[in-house]
């Protein structure tokens, strides 16, 4: 199952990249994508034993998340550009490393959360050790946004990711 999905993704990529639709190039594409998907069959969708409908639901929820994430990317770029072009940048930064425990279980969800943290304003994921995230924040404001509410529950982004992959409430 995973190998078939990998093959389809690889072959679509091949067709887009080659742009030729004759028998020779398509045959080469089939051979190359079959080889690659056989070699990496346990790499792309490891531990992913959900049904097709569940996967499609995940993709749909992820696309809604991607819209929100793109807005965060715009904010992050404007934030860092304002910070680095500001004449008083040294007074405005106050870096620190914070850590927090995540509620996410699967590796892929943690990967998505780590990349999202890196893309959003003022924070970069340093390391994931088991279920603990180490995050470098450029000022305490960014650290506070990430860590969530005062009770210690998950922050907004972590709730998004949990909602996508693990059926939690957003």
Partner 1 sequence: MLLDLVVVVLMVCGLLLFLATTVGLLRFPDFYTRVHAAGKGDTLSTVLMLGGLIIYLLRDFNGETALTAVKLSLIVFFVFIASPTATHAIIDAGYESKVPYWTRRKGAGAGYDGPERRRQDRQI
Partner 2 sequence: MEQFLIAIGVAILLLMLTSLYRVVRGPTVIDRILGVNVIGTKTAVLIIIIGTLSARVEMFIDIALAYALLNFITTIAAARFYQRQSQPVLPEVEEAEPAPSAPPTVEHPKTTGEGSHAA
Residues forming contacts to partner 1 in the complex (CB under 8 A) are: 13, 16-17, 19, 73-74, 76-77, 79-81, 83-85, 89-90, 93-100, 114-115, 118-119, 121-122, 124-127, 134, 136, 138, 140-141, 143-144, 147, 150, 152
Interaction between residue 84 and partner 2 (CB under 8 A)? no
Measured between alpha carbons, how far apart are the two ends of the chain, in Å? 30
Residue 101 in contact with residue 132, Cβ under 8 Å?
Answer: yes
Q: Which residues of 27-42 are buried (b: 16+ CB within 10 A; e: fewer)?
A: eebeeebeebbeeebe
152, interface contact from partner 1, partner 2, none, CB < 5-8 Å by kind: partner 1
Indicate the SS3 state at residue 144.
helix
- Give, for 143, the enclosing helix (H) or strand (E): helix 140-147
Task: Choose the one of partner 2, partner 1, none that binds residue 83, judging by a C-beta under 5 to 8 angstroms depending on kind.
Answer: partner 1
Show contacts with partner 2 in window 107-146 (CB under 8 A): 127, 129, 134
């Amino acid at each position: 199952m995973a190998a078939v999905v990998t093959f389809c993704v690889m072959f679509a990529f091949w067709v887009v990249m080659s742009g030729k639709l004759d028998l020779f190039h398509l045959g080469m594409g089939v051979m190359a994508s079959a080889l690659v998907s056989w070699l990496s069959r346990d790499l792309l969708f490891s531990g992913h034993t959900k049904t097709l409908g569940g996967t499609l639901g995940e993709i749909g929820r992820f696309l809604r998340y991607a819209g929100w994430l793109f807005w965060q990317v715009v904010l992050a770029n404007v934030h860092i550009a304002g910070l680095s072009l500001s004449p008083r940048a040294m007074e405005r930064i106050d870096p620190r490393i914070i850590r927090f425990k995540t509620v996410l279980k699967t590796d892929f969800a943690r990967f998505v959360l780590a990349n999202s943290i890196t893309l959003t304003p003022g924070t970069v994921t340093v390391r994931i050790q088991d279920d603990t995230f180490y995050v470098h924040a450029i000022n305490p404001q960014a650290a506070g946004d990430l860590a969530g509410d005062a009770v210690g529950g998950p922050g907004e982004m972590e709730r998004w990711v949990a909602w996508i992959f693990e059926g939690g409430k957003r």
